[in-house]
Structure 1
Amino acid sequence: MTIQFNHTIVASKNNRETAEFWADILGLTVGAEWGPFIALEVANGVTFDFATVPPDLPGGLNPTHYAFLVSEAEFDAAYSNIQRRGLTYWADPQRKGENEINHNDGGRGIYFLDPSGHYLELITVPYGGWPAR
C-alpha cells in the first residue's frame, strides 16, 4: 500500500461556520456531522474534519495554513466568491500585496483568512511549476 494523506482535524471557533465558509469559497459540499466533526471532502478523497475548540483549551486555537491546488476555472469561481463576500486577500503570505493576485510559477495565487483565522491559499500551479512533460 502506498502512503496517502486521509484527513486532518481543523480546529475552529465554530465548526459549522468554518466548514460552510470553506465549502462556499471552494464550491464543495459540507458533509454530515459525525460526533464533534463536520467533514468537507476534496477531490482526492481527503477530508477536512472541522471541530469546535473551546476557547479555554490550553494553547487555544492555533491558526494554521492550508494550501489548495485548483484549476483555473476553480480559481475563478473561488475568487468570485471571495469578492462577493468582500474578503481581503493578499498576493503573498506576508500580506504586503493586499487585494492583489500573484503570478508565481506562471499561475495565479492568493491568500485569505477563514472565520477561525486559518490562512488559506489558492494556487493554480504548484510551487516550482509543473514538471516537464
Structure 2
Amino acid sequence: MQKLNTQKGFTLIELMIVVAIIGILAAIAIPNFMNHQCKAKQAEAKSLLGALRTAEESYFSEHSVYKDENDFNVIGFKAKGDTAYHFTVPVINNTAGYFQARAQATINGAQDVWTITSNAALQNVSNACQ
C-alpha cells in the first residue's frame, strides 16, 4: 500500500505572488487616498474662508470697517474643532472697502494656500494636492 503525502500549505512562490499583488495595490491606492484626503481638507478651507468672508461683510455692514485676525471673535468667526488650516486677514483697506483673507496649511509636506477677497474671489495660491 502506497502512502499519500497529506501535507497542506502554500508554497513560497504562491506567498511571494500574493505579497507582490498587495504591494502593487498599495502603490496604487495610497497616493489616491492621500489626494482625496488633501481635497477634503481644501474643501474645509474653502468653506471656512466663505464663512470668514460672510462674518467680515456682516461686521463691515454694521461698523464700516473690516477687522484683522486679532478680532475673529469680534466678527463672529470661529472654526469649530481642529482644522488643518491657519486663517489670517493680512490685507485690509477700510477706506476702499476691501479685505483679503488667507488660509494656509502644510499638507503632505507641501504648502497649500487659499485666499478670498471681499468681492468673493476665491483663489488657490499654492496647491499641495496633485
When normalised by structure 2's length, the TM-score is 0.24
Larger proportion of helix: 2
Larger proportion of strand: 1
Give the greater-gyration-radius structure (CA): 2
